[in-house]
A and B are shown apart, each in its own frame.
Chain A
Amino acid sequence: MTKNPYKIKEPIGDRVFLSVVYVILAIVVMALLYPFVYVVSVSISEPAEVIAGKVTFFPKGFDLGAFKTMINHPIFFTAYKNTILYTVLGTFFTLFFTAITAYPLSKDKFQMRSFISKVYLVTMFFGGGMIPTYLAYKSLHILDTIWVMVLPGALSAWNIILMRSFFRNIPESLSESAYIDGATDPQILVKIILPLSKPILATIGLFTAVGIWNGYFNALLYLNDTEKYPLQMILRSILVAATFNPSEKDAYAQLNHSATESLKMASIVITTLPIMCIYPFIQKYFVKGLMVGSIKG
């Protein structure tokens, strides 16, 4: 149509390029979403069809028996209760301690600011390591208690930095006018700063909650009492216990042996569902939260 070959060549090249991009992205998205589809399909399919290996994408038949078995299992109920308790308490402590620590560090007039910041920064690069930490918790007598699940992880230098950066962006004039009106720092934090900090509270709160909900390692190291086990420890027994070191503690051997594929996938759905439900709300915040972090880092 046009005489100049270059003018038409470039857009065609770009269109081909774009099609290739779309094809690759389609494959990537399918690969990322497939396991989710598979898990849900297996969990609601007829167990016989699952055993026969017929469920590959869409569910075959419909049977909620696996869900009923899981929900009615006493161990499962206890673990669910524990996980909710650890998540709620752990998130509360994280927000409380992070806010109260970050607030003084956001005030220029605070003379101890740089010293205290350094005290926290050191912990980003150096820690006790697994065994010394274990021994320290043992001597603090918090092993095998709920406290070991909700307190030690509550304060991280990274969260303090994020929240302090957010506080610093709130105009100082707000605090100053409150000082003139006779407000104290705790009052300013609670009545002025925190209500303005909902985005950062949501980001840190939701990430902490997801982290605790998904965590198994603290329970594996610090808990012996199976009554205190969180969900992920149950999942671990059901899903991956077969290859365990025999010397490890495993109170759920019977649950593991009786677990069918349907039961395994149903347990994944039940434990992961809450995360998938709050995920859309997190997404809005975590992109922004990461940006704040990247500017700092």
Chain B
Amino acid sequence: MSTTIGKISKKSFISKLNYDWKCNRFLLLMSFPGLIMIALFAYYPMVGIVTAFQNYSLFLGISGSEWIGFDNFIRFFKDPNFFRIIKNTFVLGSVNLLWAFPAPIILALLINEVIHPKMKRFIQTATYLPYFISVVVIVGIMKSIFSGNGIVNELLANFGVDPIQFFNESGYFRSLYVGSGIWQEIGYSSILYLAAITGIDAEMYEAAKMDGCSKFKQIIHITLPSLRPTIITLFILAIGGIISVGFDKILLMYSPATYDVADVISTYVYRKGIIDQDYGFSSAIGLFNSLVSIVFVFGANYFSRKLLKESLW
């Protein structure tokens, strides 16, 4: 039995294709539309990565444009904004990870303590709700609530604080960004943790109760250790995401007044590429960005496997 399976899988690509053409013709034909789609919209754009090594011109195209080697990368490393956008990307990503990662875990632990099933369902419904709001609306609501005569400033006025222009001061950008992110995703992200909690053997809690463990101690000694694999898996994924911080939200939130803390690699790619039409240069920054984020995912996975004996692959 196992030898037959081994034989089939060791057949050459062409003979497999031949076999499918004879025996699984419909399955093969059904695969074509998807393959054409992925070729056009995922693989074909990868060809354009070579523009990172070109002085790309729209009129000449990829075949006609001049090859300039690593000049675009060198230009990027010498760019006066280079240090700023690298720093902003990592600081914003790390600050976000620091606050937004533990929040849903804590929420899941709290919701799990709610005994009444109807109340539990209500709390869950309420916490998932913001996930379905668009970023445009979220930034719109924020701008309204935190505007010069918005409700936050009204409240502060009661304490004799002068109105603060939250969106025009760099000092508040990160808090607004991270806070709104938590507001939107805390409930949704807690689903996986709640699911993992329901999978924990109830007998462990019974045993802990018999030994006189308080609810709080049960969380510390049973629930959290049982969640370890889930937490680590999601943490590795989150580290990989540090460098790709929520770019479409930043684009809506930032302004020249807050560029010094808000401008990240991907927003710079957008401004240089789409607005200034400096395609080759922008491709180079984008390629740099994807390479670093791949290094991050693989790096996080490697260290997690070495240090914590858990990994994604």
Contact = CB atoms under 8 A, between A and B. Distances in A.
Interface stretch (A35-43, A58-66, A69-77, A196-204): A35-43
Given A25-B110, A39-B141, A290-B195, A185 B27 contact: yes
B133 A21 contact: no
B192 A107 contact: no
Contacts of B149: 53
A131 B126 contact: no
Contact of B48 (A10, A135, A216): A135
B11 interface: yes
Given A32-B183, A240-B136, A264-B140, A155 B41 contact: yes
A31 B182 CA distance: 11
Interface string B259-270: 000000010011
B135 interface: yes
Contacts of B151: 38, 53, 56
Contacts of B9: 114
Contacts of A123: 38, 42-43
The binding surface of chain B is classed by DSSP as: helix
Contacts of B107: 28
A189 B31 CA distance: 13
Contacts, number: 271
Interface string B47-83: 1110100001010010000000000000000000000
23 contacts: A14-B214, A17-B214, A17-B215, A18-B113, A21-B110, A25-B114, A29-B126, A36-B129, A100-B30, A100-B33, A104-B31, A111-B16, A112-B17, A128-B46, A129-B286, A135-B45, A136-B47, A185-B30, A216-B248, A240-B252, A243-B254, A271-B134, A280-B125
Given A17-B215, A131-B282, 11 more contacts: A28-B107, A42-B144, A125-B297, A131-B274, A216-B248, A236-B136, A240-B139, A245-B275, A264-B144, A268-B137, A272-B134
Interface of B: 8-9, 11, 13, 16-17, 19-20, 23-24, 26-28, 30-31, 33-35, 37-38, 40-49, 51, 56, 58, 61, 107, 110-111, 113-114, 123, 125-130, 132-137, 139-141, 143-145, 149, 151, 154, 167, 183, 186-187, 191-192, 195, 212, 214-216, 230, 233, 248, 251-257, 266, 269-271, 273-275, 279, 282-283, 286-287, 289-290, 294, 297, 312
Interface of A: 6, 10, 13-14, 17-18, 21-22, 24-25, 28-29, 31-33, 35-36, 38-39, 42, 53, 56, 97, 100-101, 103-105, 107, 109-112, 114-116, 119-120, 123, 125-140, 151-152, 154-155, 160, 184-186, 189, 210, 213-217, 220-221, 232, 235-236, 238-240, 242-243, 245, 247-248, 261, 264-265, 268, 271-272, 275-276, 279-280, 282-283, 286-287, 290-291, 294, 297
